[in-house]
Structure 1
Amino acid sequence: MSPKATVIEWIERFNRSDAESLAALYAPDAVNHQVVMEPLVGREAIRDMFRREFGRARMHCLKENLFEDGEWAILEWRDPLGLRGCGFFRVVDGLIVFQRGYFDQLSFFRQQGIAVPDSYLGD
C-alpha cells in the first residue's frame, strides 16, 4: 500500500475504534510520537495507547487534507467537535514506521469531559 492508501485505511480503522486492527498497520518497532506525550515505541505500546484512548473518549477523524511525498503522508484532520490536528506518517512497505501528531490536548480533554491531570497544568 502507498503511504496515502495506508493513512486512508488508518482513518477507517481509527473511526471504528479498532485498536487491534489499527495497531496491525504499524511496523513491529514503529514509533508513534504524539507531541503531547513521550514517544511510544513498538506495536504493542501503540495498540495499548489506542485501547486506553478509545476506552475514555469518543474519537472520530475527518480528513481535511491528505498529501503524499515519497514515503511520507501528511494528514490534516478535524473531529465533529471542532478539534483540529495534523499527523505525519512515514510508511515503508505498507506499514507505518513513524508517526508524529500535533493537536491541542487541553481542548481535547475539555471537549471529551476528561479531567485535566494536575501534572498537566504544572506547578
Structure 2
Amino acid sequence: MEPRDVVAAWVEAFNKADAELVASFYADDAINHQVANDEIVGKVAIRSRFEQEFATAEMVCIVEHIFQDRDWAILEWKDPLGLRGCGFFQIKNGKIVFQRGYWDKLSFLRQHGLPIPQN
C-alpha cells in the first residue's frame, strides 16, 4: 500500500471515530506529534489519545489534498466548521512511524465550546 493510500484509509477510520481502527495504522513505536499538544510515543498511547479526543468532540476530516514523496504522505484537510490543517505522515512497511500535524488549537477549542487552558 502506498503512503497516500495508508493516509486515505486512516482518514476513513478517523471519520468513523474508531480509535482502535485508527491506532491499527501505526507502528508499535510510532510517534504522533500534533504541534499544539505534547508528543505521543507508541501505538497504545496514540490509541488512548484518540479515544479521549473522540469522546471530547465530534471531529470530521475533509481531505483537500494528499501528496506523496517516497515514504512520506502530506495531508491537507479542513473540517465542516472551517478549521484547516496539515499533517505529515512517514510510512514504513505500511505503518505510520511518524506523524506531525499543524492546526489552530485555540480555534478548535472555541468552535467546540471546550475550555481554554489558562497558563
> Who is 2:9 aligned against?
9
- After superposition, give the CA deviation of every residue in 1:33-89 in whole Å (9 maximum; x if it has no partner): 000111100001100000000000000000001100000000000000000000000
In 1: Cα distance, 2:33 partner to 2:73 partner: 15
Distance apart, 1:117 and its partner CA? 1.4
In 2: Cα distance, 1:101 partner to 1:69 partner: 17
Question: Which residues in structure 2 correspond to 1:2-41 (within 5 Å)?
Answer: 2-41=2-41
Distance apart, 1:106 and its partner CA? 0.1
> Who is 2:70 aligned against?
70
Q: Percent identity?
A: 55
Task: State the one-letter code of the partner of 2:102.
Answer: Y
Question: Which residues in structure 2 correspond to 1:1-123 (within 5 Å)?
Answer: 1-119=1-119
Q: What's the TM-score once normalised by structure 2's chain length?
A: 0.99
How many residue pairs match? The answer is 119
Task: State the one-letter code of the partner of 1:96.
Answer: I
Runs of 4+ in structure 1 displaced over 2 angstroms? none
Name the Cα RMSD after superposition. Answer: 0.5
Distance apart, 1:97 and its partner CA? 0.1
Uncovered stretches (5+) of structure 2, i.e. residues with no partner: none
Uncovered stretches (5+) of structure 1, i.e. residues with no partner: none
Task: State the one-letter code of the partner of 2:21.
Answer: S
In 2: Cα distance, 1:26 partner to 1:44 partner: 10
